[in-house]
Amino acid sequence: MIQLTIVRIEGYGPWTVTLGSDREAQLQMLQAKIYHDVQRLFSAKDGIVFFNRFDEYFAITNGLDAEDHREIQRELAKTYKDLSMSMAIGAGKTAFEANLDAYRARKEDNMLDGRARIFGNVHGADVAQIMHIDVDSSTKVGDRLSPYEVTALVIKIYSRLSEEFLKHNSLAFFLGGDNVMVISNGMTKEQADEAIKKVTAGIDIKLNCGIGIGRTGRRAAEAATKALDTIRDMRKEGKIQTIYEIRCP
Ligand SMILES: Nc1nc2c(ncn2[C@@H]2O[C@H](COP(=O)(O)OP(=O)(O)OP(=O)(O)O)[C@@H](O)[C@H]2O)c(=O)[nH]1
Ligand SMILES: [Mg+2]
């Protein structure tokens, strides 16, 4: 079981308009700062945050209880006095199911803490599985494609990954560069291999995939990145393997 918390800035659209038309640079600076703070606060509690959109974030919150969430809400409220943030907590066997559970809690107004604007329930979630997917030798792709063409290719790969992995109830998030992380509870290595093959069919690109399994989001992400780095280390020794899994003890 995995627990996800969806953090959202409430009433953000109407609020942005109050800044006037010369607002975009200000909003970009604010959004970068909010993301920084949300990531800092959850990672200090062994979570990890993915920005879904800049006004909404997905956090893996295995092991975080109501008080942990309230504490983070208090910190955010102190820093962002003009904005109101809400949280919806959900759990499930897969990330997509946890996302649905959180979505329903918000929709049905199932409040865990009305004052702190936290919806849903905390669960005894004990496992997170993350896949860290990265383009093999993307720097070399830069020799034949210009920077913007590389971006367009990475977006295409990300879009296909999100579509293929969603079929397995897994959620993919773009991290920057040529990196994507997928919250993939319930998916096997073989299913991942097959999904990745579909994504790269017809494109002259190879993807590597590190799989990490741990009790919390942060530990799973660490293991996934370690697994990806292991693929790179093996490659240096001439051993080509595109998927590798590390399970935290
Ligand atoms: N978010 C994130 N970005 C990374 C990470 N590692 C690399 N990047 C980004 O990805 C870009 C490409 O770096 P690499 O993937 O190491 O380069 P590469 O040529 O593809 O080499 P290999 O992946 O080892 O085949 C970098 O410029 C960074 O922007 C990571 O762990 N997390
Ligand atoms: Mg790469």
Q: Whose CA is nearest to atom 6 of ligand 1?
A: 179
Report DSSP state, residue 114: T
Ligand nearest to the CA of 175: 1
pTM of the predicted model over 0.75: yes
45 CA distance to ligand 1 middle (Å): 26
* Cβ neighbourhood burial of 13 (10 Å; 0-12, 13-18, 19+): exposed
- pLDDT tens sequence for the chain (249 residues): 999 999 999 999 999 999 999 999 999 999 999 999 999 999 999 999 998 888 999 999 999 999 999 999 999 999 999 999 999 999 999 999 999 999 999 999 999 999 999 999 999 999 999 999 999 999 898 899 999 999 999 999 999 999 999 999 999 999 999 999 999 999 999 999 999 999 999 998 999 999 999 999 999 999 999 999 999 999 999 999 999 999 998
Read off the tokens for 237: 């020794």
Give the homologous superfamily in CATH for domain 128-247: Reverse transcriptase/Diguanylate cyclase domain (3.30.70.270)
pLDDT value, residue 36 = 97
Partnered with residue 56 across adjacent β-strands are: 8, 53
| CATH 3.30.70.1230 domain range(s) in the chain | 2-120
Fold type of domain 2-120: Alpha-Beta Plaits (3.30.70)
